[in-house]
């Protein structure tokens, strides 16, 4: 199998999913969009994974590569209807591709929090209804068309996960490793949101909490990965 991975900053990569894919001898082509790398011909790929990033879906003037990226996501997920997995910003880009919208949240979600699984028949099959995840976002998808399925929700963010045909969007993170929080905290936009939401001295406590729950995240990531493979 051959997967295409779209990244928007080099430290926000598939994390532990990379380990799973390599163990399965999956060929991985990574495109670093923020370094102006071009998206290759889509027909050669069995699945696409789109990662998060510090930019927002509406910032096409600042990040002009967002526009062609959205077009390619729409082509892959909505026209070709191939397996697609979007994480955080990747989920928001999928939302727009299927006809939904993205908006700034009243209260950002940052920390180790729980989401409620509302549909455990596909991507979340075998997972707990109350799923502990890593959150680090200030925008959310909303107003999705009736053709989509809501898969998970929370009090502050209704659309935590959704699907459309064989495409899945997850607003939260389960792909993190022990390096994730320290690396992401170096990104000015992420650090600012973290301190604004949790306080100036919250980083060490946040990092410790993530490390304490890392085995839970890794287990959830493995289940999600195996379920995703089944639709390919």
List active site positions. 88, 173, 175
Sign of CA dihedral 214, 91, 83, 7: negative
Sign of CA dihedral 159, 208, 223, 91: positive
Asked whether 96 and 67 are in contact (CB, 8 A), the reply is no
Which tokens go with 27? Answer: 């060929």
Please give the Cα distance from 56 to 73 (Å, whole number): 16
Please choose, from the candidates 78, 83, 71, 99, the residue with its C-alpha nearest in 3D space to the C-alpha of residue 3.
Answer: 83
């Amino acid at each position: 199998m051959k997967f295409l991975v779209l990244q928007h900053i080099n430290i926000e990569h598939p994390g532990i999913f990379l380990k799973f894919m390599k163990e399965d001898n999956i060929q991985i082509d990574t495109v670093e969009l923020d370094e102006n790398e071009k998206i290759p011909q889509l027909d050669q790929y069995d699945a696409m994974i789109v990662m998060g990033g510090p930019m927002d879906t509406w910032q096409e003037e600042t990040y002009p590569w967002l526009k062609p990226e959205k077009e390619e996501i729409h082509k892959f997920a909505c026209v070709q209807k191939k397996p697609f997995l979007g994480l955080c910003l990747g989920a928001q880009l999928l939302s727009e591709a299927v006809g939904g919208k993205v908006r700034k949240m009243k209260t950002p979600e940052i920390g180790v929090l729980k989401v409620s699984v509302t549909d455990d028949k596909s991507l979340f099959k075998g997972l707990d209804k109350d799923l502990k995840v890593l959150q680090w976002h200030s925008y959310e998808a909303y107003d999705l068309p009736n053709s989509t399925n809501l898969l998970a929700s929370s009090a502050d963010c209704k659309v935590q996960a959704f699907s459309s045909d064989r495409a899945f969007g997850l607003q939260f993170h389960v792909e993190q490793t022990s390096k994730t929080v320290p690396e992401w905290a170096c990104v000015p936009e992420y650090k600012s949101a973290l301190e604004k939401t949790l306080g100036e001295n919250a980083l060490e406590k946040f990092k410790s909490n993530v490390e304490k729950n890392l085995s839970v995240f890794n287990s959830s990531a493995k289940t999600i990965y195996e379920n995703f493979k089944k639709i390919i």
